[in-house]
Amino acid sequence: MNFSGKKILVTGADGFIGSHLVEHLVRQGHSVRAFVLYNSFNSWGWLDESPKEIADNLEIFAGDVRDPHGVKEAMKGCDVVLHLAALIAIPYSYHSPDTYVDTNVKGTLNIVQAARELGVERIVHTSTSEVYGTAQFVPITEDHPLQGQSPYSATKIGADQIAMSFYNAFETPVSIIRPFNTYGPRQSARAVIPTVITQIANGSREIKLGALTPTRDFNYVMDTVRGFEAVAASDACVGEVVNVGSGFEVSIGDTAQAIAEVMDADIEIVCDEQRLRPEKSEVNRLFAGNAKAKELCGWEPAYGGLDGFKKGLKLTAEWFTDPENLRRYKSGIYNI
């Protein structure tokens, strides 16, 4: 698909990945409508911080993906929908699972139903590596079994299945992108990399973390953004699930030490019990197989391997340590 002359809707545009994606698309010269969560503060999330040249070329739609009427209104006149809106914090899903069902499952149903009715040309639904649970084999390919080890991951499995069911039942042109652990500027402090960086940046050398042995496949945010662009543009990705991951595995403990090295800090890691997941809910290993992304849409990580990871960490730490950015984060508390 050629995006020229197409109108692109991005849901979850006010969030971490969504805001980077919106800005990238606008810089590429595309016509973008940004779907942000309605609120009485008239906040557009991270898009409030967008440079003038982005803001002046951006259409904002405030609504809620849980409402089918607003969703359909937002999608009118759009050719491509990149659906990122979701609740993602795993600890929050332990005590408020109902809102995850409403947002992630029913919200996705609203998107694909409206897309079917409106004849949208391409929908990219956002999945997550958490749907795989602890790796049964590595690298994790798209054929890996799905395991709902948290209410969050269970709702994302449900959302993925809803999206794919519309492709199978109605030939709705759905692609599913499955990013592994995205990190970078603007990420929520509930995630491990911002947690470590903000603690160090605020002067702490005793870093509070949960489990240190689980491994993750961290994907720098601009690699994830390019993944969305590549999957959306590829006709071969319609009806397919596509992993977007760096293909590099690192433990949480080694991640913290890598951040300390980048920030030139000596740290001691201490276990904070409230940060531990229930034993059977912890995903102990994630390691992406990304061959399908290369084959179907030509995507490869620019920040792969240890060197790429450290390069991404350096860019992330530089952003977080800017005083204007750091002040937004509450490093002294456990953010769920």
List the chain pLDDT tens, one digit each, 336 residues.
Answer: 999 999 999 999 999 999 999 999 999 999 999 999 999 999 999 999 999 999 999 999 999 999 999 999 999 999 999 999 999 999 999 999 999 999 999 999 999 999 999 999 999 999 999 999 999 999 999 999 999 999 999 999 999 999 999 999 999 999 999 999 999 999 999 899 999 999 999 999 999 898 999 999 999 999 999 999 999 999 999 999 999 999 999 999 999 999 999 999 999 998 888 888 898 999 999 999 999 999 999 999 999 999 999 999 999 999 999 999 999 999 878 887
For residue 331, what pLDDT is reported? 84
Q: b vs e for 316-329, b when ≥16 Cβ sit within 10 Å of the residue's Cβ?
A: bbebbeeeebeeeb
Domains and CATH numbers, the chain: 7-182+219-248+289-297 (3.40.50.720), 192-214+249-281+304-326 (3.90.25.10)
Tokens of 274: 């409230």
E strand segments, the chain: 7-11, 31-37, 59-63, 80-83, 122-126, 174-179, 181-183, 206-209, 215-216, 218-220, 241-244, 250-251, 268-271
Q: How far is CA 204 from CA 34, 55, 210, 300, in A?
A: 37, 36, 16, 36
Residues with active-site annotation? 152
The C-alpha angle 312, 314, 319, rounded to 5 degrees, equals 100
Whole-angstrom Cα distance, residue 8 to residue 225? 14
Whole-angstrom Cα distance, residue 138 to residue 121? 34
Q: What global pTM score does this model have?
A: 0.97
3-class state of residue 34 by DSSP: strand
Kindly state the helix (H) or strand (E) to which residue 252 belongs, with its residue range: helix 252-262
Contacts of 23 (CB under 8 A, 6+ apart): 50, 54
Tokens of 190: 């509930």
